[in-house]
């Protein structure tokens, strides 16, 4: 960067200072490059600038991808077990440095400390999962062949090459490295474009990866104008992972398709929460708090639509309102506050607009409904709306803010119908004292993940199970075997023990055809007997 290194000014009560952030920013982009243009990074809690990052151009991305491709050669030659050892060391380092990562997350996002904690716990667990299970998942597999004994087949999983990751600001640790970790274990290089609001958490994790033994340059981070740099990444990589809105996701998929590269997209959600008539009211209300107001509602898995059986609707609503009104706003670097700041003015205004539109159309504000500038510039009260018309903004669009809409339903069937009446299908939750009954409801919901008696964490933390969306909530899956095999090209190696499969010299074709048909029919019958 062309800017002068700043003084070691302490940033609030955190473990970070401007000199440390400046040093991290030097890791951005291709090596040996000075950047004349920079972009500010501000702290949402007070809207003050904390650092600057370079604004790269397309040529910089081109060089970054090529340098990553060169560096990844050494990494690819390492065995799966050796790469897994690096991830294990990385998991230990991420856990060891949790305190400073918490500070950095809060500094960049304005989250409450409790909500930031979820990310710092997730990354080591995710790395440990793939370090443990990944080598087995990607081991060369024997497959059935058409003619046993005479032929054999096996599949090996080769890395794609360079994986591009475009990650959002709301979960800058998790939604970058939940994708980078399996991509790396599979032997790929990674070019990561974090949101320019939150680059430093990704930079710090990349630094810890190299400390754990990842060869320098296998992960490269690029920053700059989102559409420009994001598009440049898609043009140059071999696989693309994107997390963001459905609108942008469609553009990403279109560009990836033109380049004939595969992609996985986790996109918007408008997630339902179904509360059946036999629930523990207090527990369900606590789940609604977590599902609706974690990270100030800036969560693609958030429950924005809550359907409650009419027999318990009044009691649930009263409990939900009471618990919501007891939440404390703030982003102190201690575990004192329940709900943190929104990321910026745009997100704050979107929430304001959704609430105002619903109220103007006849909705009732049961709790919240106000910005809180005395706490910080982008704080908004956790808000509960009822009687929300189906045509109003919070009924039709993802709010991505601390807003929950509560509606009574007459039966589980009605709740399922309303839950499925959406263009999205990322996450849902079902609440019942009878888990078997809840599962029966869950199976009928059109969603990539359905959680029972928990809003989203039980699904996200199931690292061995796939996570992703249906409809306009995305394509592809992260987590589990599906989450690592997407970063590979399966290669079939088929072997004949008898030479070319076909007519044999010296044997009449008619005799060969008769014998080959008999063997084929016998093999079919044996296969059918084994079913």
What is the SS3 assignment for 82?
helix
- CB 35, CB 2: distance < 8 Å: yes
Catalytic residue list contains 300 = yes
Torsion of CA 109, 111, 115, 116, to 10 degrees: 50
Tokens at 515, concatenated: 């014998």
Q: For 278-301, give one letter per residue: b (16+ CB within 10 A) or e.
A: ebebeebbebbbbbbbbbbbbbbb
Q: For 379-399, give one letter per residue: b (16+ CB within 10 A) or e.
A: bbbbbbbbebeeebbbbeebb
Q: In what order do the strands lie in the sheet with 219-221?
A: 219-221, 189-193, 162-166, 239-243, 262-266, 474-475
Q: What is the 3-state composition of the chain as percent helix, strand, coil, each rounded to the nearest 5? A: 45, 20, 35
Q: State the catalytic residue, choosing from 300, 366, 398, 472.
A: 300
Closest CA to 397 of 343, 472, 451: 472
How far from the centroid of its chain's Cα atoms is residue 294's Cα?
15
CA–CA dist 297, 284 (Å, integer): 17
| Helix H or strand E encompassing 19 | helix 18-25
Q: What is the 3-state secondary structure (H, E, C) of 365-410?
A: EEECCCECCCCCCCCECCEEEECCCCCCHHHHCCCCCCEEEEEEEC
Q: State the catalytic residue, choosing from 55, 235, 266, 366.
A: 266
| Helix H or strand E encompassing 42 | strand 38-43
Catalytic residue list contains 266 = yes
Positions marked active-site: 266, 300
């Amino acid at each position: 960067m062309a800017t002068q290194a700043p003084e070691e000014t302490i940033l609030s009560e955190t473990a970070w200072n401007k000199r440390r952030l400046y040093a991290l920013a030097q890791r951005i982009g291709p090596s040996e490059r000075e950047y004349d243009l920079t972009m500010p990074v501000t702290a949402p809690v007070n809207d003050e600038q904390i650092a600057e990052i370079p604004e790269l151009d397309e040529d910089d991305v081109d060089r970054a991808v090529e340098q990553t491709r060169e560096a990844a050669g050494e990494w690819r030659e390492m065995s799966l077990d050796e790469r897994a050892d690096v991830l294990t060391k990385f998991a230990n380092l991420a856990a060891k440095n949790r305190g400073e990562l918490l500070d950095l997350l809060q500094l960049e996002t304005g989250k409450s400390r409790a909500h930031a904690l979820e990310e710092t716990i997730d990354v080591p667990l995710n790395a440990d999962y793939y370090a443990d299970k990944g080598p087995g998942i990607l081991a060369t597999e024997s497959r059935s062949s058409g003619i046993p004994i005479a032929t054999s087949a096996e599949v090996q999983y080769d890395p794609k090459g360079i994986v591009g990751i475009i990650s959002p600001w709301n979960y800058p640790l998790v939604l970058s490295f939940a994708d980078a970790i399996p991509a790396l274990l599979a032997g790929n290089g990674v070019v990561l474009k974090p949101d320019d609001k939150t680059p430093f958490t990704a930079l710090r994790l990349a630094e810890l990866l190299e400390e754990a033994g990842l060869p320098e340059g296998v992960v490269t981070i690029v920053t700059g104008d989102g559409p420009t740099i994001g598009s440049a990444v898609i043009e140059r990589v071999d696989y693309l992972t994107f997390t963001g809105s459905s609108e942008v996701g469609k553009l990403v998929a279109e560009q990836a398709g033109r380049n004939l590269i595969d992609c996985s997209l986790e996109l918007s959600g408008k997630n339902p929460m179904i509360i059946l008539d036999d629930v523990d009211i207090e527990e369900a209300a606590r789940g609604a708090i977590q599902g609706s107001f974690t990270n100030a509602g800036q969560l693609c898995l958030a429950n924005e639509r809550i359907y409650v059986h009419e027999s318990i609707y009044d009691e649930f609503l009263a409990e939900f309102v009471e618990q919501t009104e007891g939440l404390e706003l703030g982003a102190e670097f201690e575990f004192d506050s329940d709900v943190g700041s929104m990321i910026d003015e745009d997100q704050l205004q979107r929430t304001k607009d959704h609430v105002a539109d619903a109220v103007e159309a006849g909705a009732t504000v049961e709790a919240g409904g106000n910005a809180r500038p005395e706490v910080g510039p982008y704080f908004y009260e956790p808000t509960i709306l009822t009687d929300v018309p189906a045509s109003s903004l919070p009924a039709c669009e993802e709010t991505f803010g601390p807003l929950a809409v509560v509606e009574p339903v007459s039966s589980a069937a009605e709740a399922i119908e309303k839950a499925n009446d959406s263009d999205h299908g990322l996450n849902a939750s079902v609440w019942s004292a009878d888990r078997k009954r809840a599962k029966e409801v869950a199976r009928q919901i059109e969603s990539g993940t359905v959680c029972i008696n928990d809003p989203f964490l039980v699904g996200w933390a199931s690292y061995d199970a796939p996570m992703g969306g249906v409809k306009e909530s995305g394509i592809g899956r992260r987590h589990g075997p599906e989450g690592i095999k997407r970063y590979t090209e399966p290669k079939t190696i088929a072997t004949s023990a008898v030479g070319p499969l076909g007519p044999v010299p010296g044997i009449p074709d008619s005799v060969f055809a008769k014998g080959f048909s008999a063997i084929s029919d016998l093999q079919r019958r044996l296969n059918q007997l084994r079913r």
